[in-house]
Amino acid sequence: MAEAKRFYVTTPIYYVNDSPHIGHAYTTLACDVLARFKRLDGFDVMFLTGTDEHGQKVEKSAAAAGVAPQDFTNKVSQNFRDLADFMGFSHDDFIRTTEERHKKACQDIWKRLLERDEIYLGSYAGWYAVRDEAYYAESELTKNADGAFVAPSGAEVEWVEEPSYFFRLSNWGDRLLAWYDENPDCVMPKSRMNEVKSFIKGGLDDLSVSRTSFKWGIPVPGDDDHIMYVWMDALTNYITATGYPDLESDKFKAFWPANLHMVGKDILRFHAIYWPAFLMAAELAPPQRIYAHGWWTNEGEKISKSLGNVIDPIDLVNRYGLDQVRYFLLREVPFGNDGDFSHRAMIGRANSELANDLGNLAQRVLSMIAKNCDGRVPAMDEAAFTADDQKLLGSAHDLLEQVRAHMDAQAFHEALETVWLVIRAANAYVDHQAPWKLRKEDPVRMEQVLYTLAEVIRHVALILQPYMPESCGRMLDQLSIAPEHRSFEASGPAQALKSGTELPKPEGVFPRLVEDAENNEDNG
């Protein structure tokens, strides 16, 4: 028996000092679509998300709210869990850094690094941004209008002096560069790889990995005066979830190293430099790929709490529909680039591509079958397929291989465009073949045409399930496809629709959205 195909994908763990917003939904959605795709493609998938709950920001926020840090994190972590459920995400595990399993993993990796002389005790003096939980060299800082130093992110920095343990990051520059060269796709997209290499070539300093000025964190083993730097704690979540420190566990052996860490571009340095260095220094395998995607703006403006233009994904879904929002976020912008959210674009995509192109295709074809074929899968004769029929069917049969290649490159938008080429071709085929005319002129040919179209719709719905699970599920229901025949094994002619199969009454799947909808309305 062939060894099971495994796939491990992670979101960053989301910092509980923030409220869930469009950026969190976007990153997790990309991972969800990939996880669903891989499961349908026969992989044993592990999909991890969760919350990052330690650090100075959390300690300060909890104090300001007049509650204990653990109570504060319990409440806010639940908001992220609720968002994941609301968005229909299919994660297999939700990790919290305050869990005992995670404390155990962090302290173990610390000990491994200490034993290998990769960590030493010193003292730290330098610039620190509480908001970013990051240290910055003075050369990276600029001054704001008030003359105060700020980080590249715009966060205020403060001068910090305290005893600290350091990780010997300065020793890892050449080894990291060698790793990138040996694994040219380990940081994606390519522009991010160039950014990471450039940073390393500028020289790496040893990294402060402990703090003594606050207490909300994981204690350093053997030295309770120190807690671990929040990024060493946070990044370790990816191996905690695989059962680390039990290197012999079935889960660790199956899923580590991770196939993909999906992150926003603002945390690329931590994932593509610090994390692989920590792992290699601890004699553990680094991840196979870190993919850093872009940011969203809102109607052309940078999203910020101060501008009051933060996009709440729950509001979007309530207004436009879950699958419409899932589709739009991965269709509108080439994945990896920055993108702009606009309500007009959202409505335009939903109406032109979902309601018109796909929804109308399915509705027209299934309605004609209901009316003219006694509500059953039309009759067909393989020998009677014309060149046009074969060309359209062939494009549907080829979809999986093409889309798989795009998904493996995290080119979500390209995968969708590939599917839409077939949908557009099917709509052109309907117009050209005119089955409504054939009904009188050549009813046998009409059935052949409608069968061809129904089979194309089956393939399109199969392939689009990861993006729009509920809508594509309804489309497959209308073709009477049994749940056990909805994996990608059903792609191709082997499990084609069987003539004569009874079909339910067709119903529209994608309503048109009203241009200036203030509420979740549709016009039919």
Give 135's pLDDT tier (boundaries 50, 70, 90). confident
CATH of span 343-495: 1.10.730.10
pLDDT band at 303 (very low <50, low <70, confident <90, very high): confident
Q: What is the pLDDT of residues 73-84, one digit of tens each?
A: 999 999 999 999
What is the per-residue pLDDT for 516?
Answer: 59
Query: How do residues 462-479 score in pLDDT, each as one tens digit?
Result: 999 999 999 999 999 999
Measured CA to CA, the distance from residue 109 to residue 400 in angstroms comes to 41
Please report which confidence band the pLDDT of residue 523 belongs to, taking 50, 70 and 90 as the band edges.
very low
Q: Residue 3 has what pLDDT?
A: 64
Rounded to an integer, what distance in angstroms lies between the CA atom of residue 2 and that of residue 184?
28
Parallel/antiparallel/unpaired status of strands 43-52 and 14-15:
parallel
Least Cα distance to 488 among 412, 396, 421 occurs for 396
Residues 6+ apart with CB under 8 A from 300: 340, 342
What pLDDT does residue 124 have?
A: 85
Q: What is the pLDDT of residues 177-213, one digit of tens each?
A: 999 999 999 999 999 999 999 999 999 999 999 999 8
Residue 383 in this model has a pLDDT that exceeds 80: yes
What pLDDT does 302 receive?
A: 80
| pLDDT recorded at residue 519 | 41
Closest-CA residue to 284 (of 292, 296, 276) = 276
pLDDT digits (tens, 9 = 90+) for 400-427: 999 999 999 999 999 999 999 999 999 9
Q: What is the 3-state secondary structure (H, E, C) of 3-24?
A: CCEEEEEECCCEECCCCCCHHH
C-alpha span between 203 and 208 (Å, rounded)? 16
User: Is residue 327 over pLDDT 90?
Assistant: yes
Bridge partners for 210 per DSSP: 228
> For residue 202, what are the contacts with CB-CB under 8 A and spacing of at least 6?
none
pLDDT mean over 59-87: 94
pLDDT tens across 348-368, in order? Answer: 999 999 999 999 999 999 999
Residue 108, both tokens: 């173990």
Given a cut of 60, whether residue 521 has pLDDT beyond it is: no
Q: DSSP label at 183?
A: S
Give the burial class of 401: count Cβ atoms within 10 A of its Cβ; 0-12 exposed, 13-18 middle, 19 or more buried.
Answer: exposed
What are the residue ranges spanned by the domains of the chain?
A: 343-495
pLDDT score, position 307: 73
**What pLDDT, on a 0 to 100 scale, did the predictor assign at position 2?**
53
Whole-number Cα distances in Å, 193 to 177, 178, 179, 273: 10, 13, 12, 11
**What local confidence, expressed as pLDDT, does residue 134 receive?**
84
Alpha helices in 434-522 (DSSP H): 435-441, 443-464, 469-478
d(CA 499, CA 376): 7
Q: Using an 8 Å Cβ cutoff, are 34 and 9 in contact?
A: yes
> Using the 8-state DSSP alphabet, how is residue 308 labeled?
T
Average pLDDT over every residue of 21-46:
96
